[in-house]
Amino acid sequence: MPIVSNTSGNVAIQALSVTLRGLGVGEVVPKDTLKIVCKEILADLSTALALSLALGLLSLIWSPPQKQWIALVAAMVMAINVFVAATLGTLLTMGLKRINPDPALIRGPLLTTVLDAVGFLTFLSLVSIALKIVRC
């Protein structure tokens, strides 16, 4: 869980920084939100896939044979959380810019707290579902 939490926080801050830079130098404006989010989603998918495969393989190596389903859960949680992190980092930045406060206000604590909650909720929910399936 800490790996997912740390990774999603880093991904979100990266997405936020890139979007904030684009706003700062005038490359993007709030009306470009849909275009920026669509580009971010494409980048998010490849990042989420790569990181989830890496975590899934590591989890597979460390899991005992009877509990290898944990690797699938870990990979799914990583993919979901990285995707949400990058999208949220971009959307929150553009959303705050639209309502005029400084988008840098969401820098760290707000974004990472939300992502930690999403990550832990996703992880615990998927583990609960998997446990019900495995026990059947």
Domain ranges within the chain, ordered by starting residue: 2-135
| Residue 8 confidence (pLDDT) | 82
User: What is the maximum alpha-carbon separation in the chain?
Assistant: 56
The tens place of each residue's pLDDT in the chain, 136 residues long, gives 777 878 888 888 888 888 888 888 988 888 888 888 888 888 888 888 998 999 899 988 988 888 888 888 889 998 999 888 888 888 888 887 888 777 666 666 778 888 888 888 998 999 899 888 887 5
- Contact between 86 and 15 (Cβ < 8 Å): yes
* Helix 69-98 and helix 2-24, axial crossing angle in degrees, nearest 10: 30
| Residue 136 confidence (pLDDT) | 55
What does the chain come to in residues?
136
| Residue 105 confidence (pLDDT) | 66
Could you tell me the two tokens for 76? 């799914």
Question: 2-135 falls under which CATH superfamily?
Answer: SLC41 divalent cation transporters, integral membrane domain (1.10.357.20)
| Number of CB atoms found within 10 A of residue 84's CB | 20
